[in-house]
Structure formats: C-alpha cells, structure tokens
Amino acid sequence: MRRGATAAVAGTRGIVELMSKVLVCRCEDVTLHELEDAILRGHDDIESLKRYTGFGTGWCQGKSCVALCGRLLQERGGSAGLPITPRPPFHPLPLADLAGLAGVAEEDARAGRPPH
C-alpha cells in the first residue's frame, strides 16, 4: 500500500493513523473522526448520527455514504436498523433561488439577456 493511502475506511480501528482526513460523506465533508466523535458523544442510532454530523443530507441524499456510516455505527455498538429520513425541500425550488441568483436571473430576463 502507498504511504498515506488506505484500502477501505470501515473495518479497522487503526485507519485514522494512515490518513489525516478520511472523508466518509463527500457531499457534506463529514470525516471519519467526526463520526467516531459523535458516536462517543452518545449518538448511537443512524438518525441521531445523521442529524448531529450532517452525513446523508447533501445532493446525493446518502446514496454514497449511508451504508458506510451504518457499518461504522454497528461496529462501534450502535444501531443502524432503521433507514434515515430524507428531507427534500418543502416546495420545489429553482437552483437560482438556492444559490441566491434569482434577482440576477430576473434582471437578465427583463433586459433580454440569455441566462448564464
């Protein structure tokens, strides 16, 4: 194995020594250290862990990290039996609104400019 590289995140306790920052949820930048810290603080079920750390709340809604987080939680004695609750936006929103660009889009439309 290369220096500073790792084969897998879950399954070994000594993994933190191999890398300084192991991302478990790339969408929300949740690290292995943050998950382990949350479990030590008493967040021992998958929903509580998700709400405390924010994993599974990014654009993929947990498709790439929930299984890994659930496995880590069970290895540390927690419960991952129930699924997490996804929280889509209450109303469908244009991406421009989420990015704060609605005013710019409206101004472009009034001026007859094409959208960026």
What average pLDDT does range 94-103 have in this prediction?
73
Q: Is 46 helix (H, G, I), strand (E, B) or coil?
A: helix
Q: Tokens in use for 68? A: 């890994």
* Residue 36 CB partners (closer than 8 Å, separation 6+): 16, 72, 76
> What is the domain partition of the chain in residue ranges?
1-85, 86-116
> Is it the case that residue 66 has pLDDT exceeding 60?
yes
- The Cα–Cα gap between 34 and 92 comes to 31
pTM of the predicted structure, to 2 decimals: 0.58
Average pLDDT over residues 83-102: 71
Q: List phi, psi (to 5°) of 16.
A: -65, -30
Q: Is the pLDDT of residue 17 over 90?
A: no
Residues 72-97, mean pLDDT to the nearest whole number? 77
Calpha distance 60→115 (Å, rounded)? 26
- Above 60 in pLDDT, residue 6? no
Topology classification of domain 1-85: Arc Repressor Mutant, subunit A (1.10.10)
